[in-house]
């Protein structure tokens, strides 16, 4: 006989209860953490313990509170990975000794060779007057 409708559920696992046996990925991650922590401990003897090694042991130790591990990782990351520097992308620094007409001619040749190499017919080129854009204003270049 089925349970009557509206009767609350009884028995069984509570919501959020983990499985008795963890999934293989969780086991593999735990083993990797333990191995890394053991290697960090083995590689440093008590008299060789430097600040970076200590920080590494702290952030690899799963028994430490997550806040402590995060702080240790923040302090150690500067020694493990190089800091990325912002670079200035200056387009005006590129100079071409040839004029616009020469650049257009060279680009058309390159495009034609590429299409011929692929066995395709040459593309149609749209002809237009040169337009110069300066300070947001469009000026006819003829």
DSSP string over 46-92: GGG--HHHHHHHHHH-TTS-HHHHHHHHHHHHHHHSPPPPP----GG
Q: Give me 63's structure tokens.
A: 């028994």
Structure confidence at residue 39 (pLDDT): 76
Three-point CA angle 134, 136, 139, nearest 5°: 55
The pLDDT-based confidence of 94 (bands split at 50, 70, 90) is low
Structure confidence at residue 46 (pLDDT): 55
The pLDDT-based confidence of 47 (bands split at 50, 70, 90) is low
Nearest to 53 by CA among 34, 76, 30: 76
Residue 99 has pLDDT above 80, yes or no: no
Q: Give me 96's structure tokens.
A: 């071409």
The pLDDT-based confidence of 57 (bands split at 50, 70, 90) is confident
Q: Give me 36's structure tokens.
A: 């890394």
Decide: pTM greater than 0.85. no
Structure confidence at residue 86 (pLDDT): 78
């Amino acid at each position: 006989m089925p349970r009557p409708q509206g009767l609350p559920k009884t028995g069984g696992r509570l919501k959020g209860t983990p499985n008795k046996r963890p999934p293989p990925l969780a086991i593999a991650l735990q083993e990797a953490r333990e191995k890394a922590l053991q290697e960090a401990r083995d590689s440093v003897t008590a008299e060789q313990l430097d600040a970076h090694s200590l920080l590494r042991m702290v952030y690899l130790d799963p028994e430490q509170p997550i806040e402590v591990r995060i702080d240790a990782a923040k302090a150690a990351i500067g020694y493990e990975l190089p800091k990325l520097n912002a670079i200035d992308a200056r387009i005006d620094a590129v100079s071409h000794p040839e004029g616009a007409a020469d650049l257009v001619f060279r680009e058309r040749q390159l495009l034609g060779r590429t299409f011929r190499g692929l066995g395709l017919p040459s593309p149609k080129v749209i002809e237009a007057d040169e337009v110069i854009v300066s300070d947001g204003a469009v000026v006819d270049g003829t």
